[in-house]
Amino acid sequence: MVDRDNKSWMEELQTPGENREAALQDLHDTLLRVLPRALTRWLSPTDPALDSLVEDVAQETLLRVLDKLDTFEGRSQFTTWVYKIAVRIALSELRRERWKDVSLDEMTEMVGSSSERGIGSDPDSEPESMAEKSDTMMRIARIMSEELTDRQQMALTAVGVKGVPIEEMAQRMGTNRNALYKLMHDARLRLKKRLEKEGLPIHELLEMFSK
């Protein structure tokens, strides 16, 4: 691999030709070398899915890097910036895989979902605290059913409470990422107004539905 500084990476990748192809190959080889070690935090080194995931992530990362070159500000090493993009892509793929065989009904079921993303699920909580959190979640579920459309409830519960990747939920709902963001934004505004009326802690509760 050629030793390049940030300026060299940018110049070679921005200009079609042999130099760009060589730079892309070096980035690809680097990702194949470092990603397996990084992903063992979430996958066993012996998992048969690891190799194919690494290759898919490497390919997608190269495309993403070329598309986002103009956003690189040079505050870190170029390869560090690329590595962070790759890890984000890998984690997104792992999250999608987790939800692949989960039904839409399970994704959007509010009852019992407070255990997702740590909401009301602290095993060391006192019984009184757990009961209070459970009661709060029931109140939120009631408010959502009264204030939000079915699609808004589905989106906030799945993405905000249960942590379903927004791309996965958009596909399940037959829409796209931007439209789903807009749907959730409007839903949060409606929730905020109602929570203010109910005298509930707005910031803390809306944090449950941030994404």
Exposure pattern of 41-63 as b/e (b: 16+ CB <10 Å)? eebeeeeeebeebbeebbebbbe
pLDDT top residue among 180 and 133 = 180
pTM as predicted: 0.55
pLDDT at 195: 80
pLDDT digits (tens, 9 = 90+) for 82-93: 999 999 899 888
User: Which of 11-20, 26-35, 149-158 shows the lowest per-residue confidence on average (mean pLDDT)?
Assistant: 149-158
Q: Would you tell me how many other CB atoms lie within 10 Å of the CB of residue 159?
A: 24
Q: Would you tell me how many other CB atoms lie within 10 Å of the CB of residue 144?
A: 20
> Mean per-residue pLDDT for 71-87?
94
Q: Per-residue pLDDT for 59 more than 70?
A: yes
pLDDT at 206: 58
Give the rounded percent of residues in the chain with a pLDDT score beyond 70: 79
* CA atoms within a 13 Å half-sphere pointing along the CA-CB vector of 185: 6
Domains recognised in the chain with CATH numbers: 6-99 (1.10.1740.10), 104-207 (no CATH)
> Mean per-residue pLDDT for 58-81?
94
pLDDT top residue among 211 and 43 = 43
User: Which of 20-34, 100-114, 140-154, 165-179 shows the lowest per-residue confidence on average (mean pLDDT)?
Assistant: 100-114
Q: What is the mean pLDDT of the chain?
A: 82
> Residue 159: which pLDDT band, with cuts at 50, 70 and 90?
confident
